[in-house]
Homo-oligomer: A and B are copies of this chain.
């Protein structure tokens, strides 16, 4: 692209580095910001700088937090003896949005992926084992993505955690609500038949 301004080009290049944002979208975003008030743009820039400078990871569960201990780990109401292991902050937010879970979390910070050079030591697995060893834990829920990296991590975590003799569970896989049987893939449908559960009218509420 032929930019009439170096400042414009720099800003477009910064936005263009973000995932899923190409040059044309970046230009549209920058021109949108140019039409805003100076204070608004300054606020945008400073928010990002402040975010990176001040944000912390919770010392207990590694979730993104403004304080040493995140609001979930600090809440007295949460069941501290049920730990849900997830890949990243987005999964914590997704589960929190369901309003169905009242335990605490452990954020791995990724999944084991030899293809991308991510091994167990790159993830927060040691601290999870330590946490299970030193605190009273009633159940460990492994809520990981259903792909190859998720399955590898699941397998590794199970191997590391089974010695503690604590129930290890994983979230149910099956046909989604609103999903039609004929469009489901064979693996999901097959597994949902094998892992069928007793019918309860209250399940559909």
What is A's interface to B at a CB cutoff of 8 Å? 1-8, 10-11, 14, 18-21, 25, 27-34, 36, 38, 41-55, 58, 63-66, 70-72, 88-90, 92-93, 96-97
Supposing A5-B64, A88-B31 touch, asked if A38 and B14 sit within 8 A by C-beta, the answer is: no
A50 to B10, alpha carbons, bound, how many Å? 10
Supposing A5-B66, A65-B5, A97-B1 touch, asked if A44 and B14 sit within 8 A by C-beta, the answer is: yes
The residues of B that contact A14 with a CB separation of less than 8 Å are 43-44, 47-48
The residues of B that contact A50 with a CB separation of less than 8 Å are 7, 10
Supposing A41-B52, A52-B42 touch, asked if A18 and B7 sit within 8 A by C-beta, the answer is: no
Contact residue among B4, B29, B33, B72 (Cβ-Cβ distance under 8 Å from A89): B4
A5 to B64, alpha carbons, bound, how many Å? 7
A57 to B68, alpha carbons, bound, how many Å? 47
The residues of B that contact A29 with a CB separation of less than 8 Å are 18-19, 21
| A52 in contact with B34 (CB, 8 Å) | yes
| A72 in contact with B41 (CB, 8 Å) | no
* A177 → chain B closest CB, angstroms: 20
